[in-house]
Amino acid sequence: MDGGETSSGRDAYHHGDLKAALIQAGMEMLEEVGLEKLSLRGIAARVGVSHAAPKNHFDGLRGLLSAIAAEGFQRHSAAMTEGLDASSSRQDRLRAAAEGYVAFARENPALFRLMFSPGLLDRDNPALCAAGQKSYAVLTGIAEDLDWTTLDGSETTQRHSELMLWSLVHGYAHLLISGRLSDPEHAPPTTAVMPWMDYKPITSRR
């Protein structure tokens, strides 16, 4: 116990819970130095171990990055659901989730970028896969509630609607952190780019 923050209980070990410490340090440095300058040696140094130590817990830099991304997806899921009030309308719930999605990206741009950089991650990492799928499930789960999929009554539109929503928030998030928008600080709120929600009752068939 001792600290018991992020680490698991044992503290008087070799180092403590090095695995969690590395993930923690990695997430901090990620936003400090940027995705491209993040180095295994740097992370190890911050924790105070040699650069070979992580090998005992992760499969190289890739493995560590994958673990960080997995943690990122969990926080991403949390960001989408935390503002969710079960009592609010389904439309508001969707709005809140979309705003959470985008806000997370703006607050953790480097992490968000990492999470969607397949070239840096281990596709087969179980934790990463699970966390990523869960994150997607959170979004689609809220979208499904709205069954705007009945617009033309066909079954296939379900997937299309999910993709539309996902593409929209994902694209806006990405643009906001891509440095291509003229004034990202004062960009319109997320709901401003999903305006069809304002003009048409989502659940109606029209």
Partner DNA sequence: GGTCTATGTTTCCACTGGTCACATAGGGCT
Partner DNA sequence: AGCCCTATGTGACCAGTGGAAACATAGACC
Residues at the interface with DNA (CB under 7 A): 12-16, 18, 38-42, 44, 48-53, 55-57, 60-62
Provide the mask over 61-90, with x wherever binding to a copy of itself is found by CB under 8 A and - wherever it is not.
------------------------------
Minimal distance, residue 30 CB to DNA, in Å: 12
Look at residue 191 and give its three-state secondary structure: helix
Which class for 179: exposed (0-12), middle (13-18), buried (19 or more C-beta within 10 A)?
A: exposed
d(CA 147, CA 94): 12
In the complex with DNA, which residue's Cβ is closer, 58 or 172?
A: 58
- Choose among DNA, a copy of itself, none what residue 50 binds, the Cβ cut-off being 5 to 8 Å by kind: DNA
* Tokens of residue 197, six digits: 């929600």
In the complex with DNA, which residue's Cβ is closer, 42 or 83?
A: 42
* CA torsion through residues 146, 152, 155, 156, sign: negative
Minimal distance, residue 1 CB to a copy of itself, in Å: 38
d(CA 83, CA 57): 34
* Amino acid in the structure at residue 12: A
Q: Tell which one of 14, 119, 153, 185 touches a copy of itself (CB under 8 A).
A: 119
